[in-house]
Amino acid sequence: MGTNNELLQKIDSGYQKFSKGQKKLADYIRRDYDKAAFLTAAKMGEVVGVSESTVVRFATALGYSGYPDFQKALEEMVRTRLNSIQRMEVTYGRITQGEILASVLQSDIEKIKLTMESIDQEAFELAVETILAARKVYVVGIRSCAPLASFLSFYLNLVCDDVKAVSTNSSSEIFEQLIRIGEEDVIIGISFPRYSMRTLKALEFASNRKAKVITLTDSIHSPMNLYSSCNLIARSDMASIVDSLVAPLSVVNALVVALCMKKQKEVVSTLERLEEIWDEYQVYSGDELDKVSGRVELGNGTPGPDGKEDGHE
């Protein structure tokens, strides 16, 4: 893994001999080395759930003269930042192909649990109230966060009168779409490492125009929180080439459900109107599949597998 990751090599080679507490520390450093570098021995022990002396003994077991020396090695790791391939080696290097599915799903389960334990309920409720009170809601998310922004915008349309999913192909395009944002509006910015400068600039622009700013990001230390009045924190802990957006999506789901519960009558009324419109304009008749009497019936009047026409009566 190269000299920059000498600490990880030491952890890998000694892992099998480590005590239970030391293994917990090793797993934490693999996963959160960028946070670990800023912790005292006592604080690291508190975060991981071991004693301060276990942390100090762990440092010496790895061959460092003491905790300060060990912390320098951690800082060096942060400075040199692992690339995607190295991150995959760190996280999944010791597991077989057959264990990948279970390992990734288990990792996602843990991220949801950690998010559940640490999310700020007051911030969540403030986000709900802020969105409900807004004249217009803007949602911005770039690159791997774009699906989250798109999903949130889609469902916000059921609850809010005016929702704008900000198209993010270029910085100039973002500002053109935000040109009318003002103090009665809210912007929801979604960004996880690697953080997006374009999203950050959009939030800065909105904040300067006195709009309310809500962020969905991975840490209270995220740069996205510089301009926000309300921070929703969800664990993403990208450990491989793929961002884990399972926990953020759960928070988005919770936000939508909370909003729908607050405006239950309006949402039911909107859905009923939509059903009528879909029926009237046969929106789904061309591409829906209906299971009828044990066989699949295509809703577009085309022959099914048995050669008979499958249009609705």
120-266 folds as Rossmann fold (3.40.50)
pLDDT in 10s for each residue of the chain, 313 residues: 343 467 888 888 788 888 888 888 888 888 777 777 777 888 888 888 888 888 998 888 888 888 888 888 887 776 666 555 555 555 555 566 677 777 778 878 888 988 988 889 999 999 999 999 999 999 999 888 999 999 999 989 888 889 898 987 777 788 888 889 999 999 999 998 878 888 999 999 999 999 999 999 988 888 888 888 899 999 886 555 566 889 999 999 999 989 888 887 887 887 777 787 777 777 666 556 565 555 655 555 555 555 554 444 3
Three-state SS across the chain? CCHHHHHHHHHHHHHHHCCHHHHHHHHHHHHHHHHHCCCCHHHHHHHHCCCHHHHHHHHHHCCCCCHHHHHHHHHHHHHHCCCHHHHHHHHHCCCCHHHHHHHHHHHHHHHHHHHHHHCCHHHHHHHHHHHHHCCCEEEEECHHHHHHHHHHHHHHHHHCCCEEECCCCCHHHHHHHHCCCCCCCEEEEECCCCCCHHHHHHHHHHHHCCCEEEEEECCCCCHHHHCCCEEEECCCCCCCCCCCCHHHHHHHHHHHHHHHHHCHHHHHHHHHHHHHHHHHHCCCCCCCEEEECCEEEECCCCECCCCCECCCC
User: Taking the domains of the chain in order of start, what are their residue ranges?
Assistant: 3-94, 120-266, 282-313
Question: Which CATH code is given to the segment(s) 3-94?
Answer: 1.10.10.10
